[in-house]
Structure 1
């Protein structure tokens, strides 16, 4: 890295939910966590681990501007439908060495906040989810 200006700024991030730009989104987190089994090897005191699966989780942080999530999920959840989505996350800082886009599919939101407000405060919510697959569309190159 030749200077601090190459560090990617999250302000340059955007997400799309099933192709719709979610302009009220101010944060996105996508995570891959490994599940492991302990392996005790003969002749070795240290316990090793074997990866047996992965858990894919994430969340988006939204300013309350509309009833977007209630429209997408409200009645469908109440009737027992398992609603799934695709999210594309893009981080494209013009000072960085490139852009990063990641698509996650099989997105299943964990909850639907119906109301959460307080006088004198900006409306914000964090929406956690799980997903079943991910794909790198664009990756920031190494120097």
Structure 2
């Protein structure tokens, strides 16, 4: 049973820890994920009211990126071959924060469909460093939803 907001005493341990975050790409857990972000930006146009400038949301843009410490090939060649053939493949990404110290053990999960890659790195490495690849992506905000949320 969720507690009323005034009954919850917040402590430092209630801050979410990204170490408990997970991402599924095309239904497969990316166990080597090191960083993930997905956000929606409101695209606005100016509206003049008298001498004041206001704004109006006219569309939404979904963008994100994930950084993966390379262990296995993530089948990026499939995207490359599709692009070379003039196709624009789409995928689904599900992300989860499952911090054991979250209020009442709750989780936050977001599902995004109609995800496209903006760029693919074919090869990148630096001597003496763990190989990482970043995957910037876009999506239609209407295809994003919270499946679970952490509430007070």
TM-score (norm 2): 0.88
Corresponding residue for residue 50 of structure 1: 56
Is 1:92–2:104 an aligned residue pair?
no
Please report how far the alpha carbon of residue 65 of structure 1 lies from its aligned counterpart in structure 2 after TM superposition: 1.1
Which stretches of structure 1, 4 residues or longer, exceed 3 Å deviation after superposition? none
Corresponding residue for residue 32 of structure 1: 40
Is 1:10–2:18 an aligned residue pair?
yes
Structure 2 Cα separation of the partners of residues 18 and 119 of structure 1: 31
Indicate which of 82, 86, 93 corresponds to 2:88: 82
Corresponding residue for residue 76 of structure 2: 70
Corresponding residue for residue 136 of structure 1: 146
Give CA deviations for 1:4-35 in whole Å, capped at 9, x if unaligned: 00000001000001111111111110111011
| Residue segments in structure 1 that go unaligned for 5+ positions in a row | none
| Residue segments in structure 2 that go unaligned for 5+ positions in a row | 1-8
**What is the aligned residue count?**
140
Please report how far the alpha carbon of residue 78 of structure 1 lies from its aligned counterpart in structure 2 after TM superposition: 1.7
Contact 1:69 1:112 in 2 (8 A): no
Give CA deviations for 1:29-68 in whole Å, capped at 9, x if unaligned: 01110111111113xx321001111100001110111221
TM-score (norm 1): 0.93
Q: Secondary structure at the match of 1:74?
A: helix
Structure 1 Cα separation of the partners of residues 68 and 58 of structure 2: 34
Corresponding residue for residue 29 of structure 2: 21
Q: CA RMSD in A?
A: 1.1
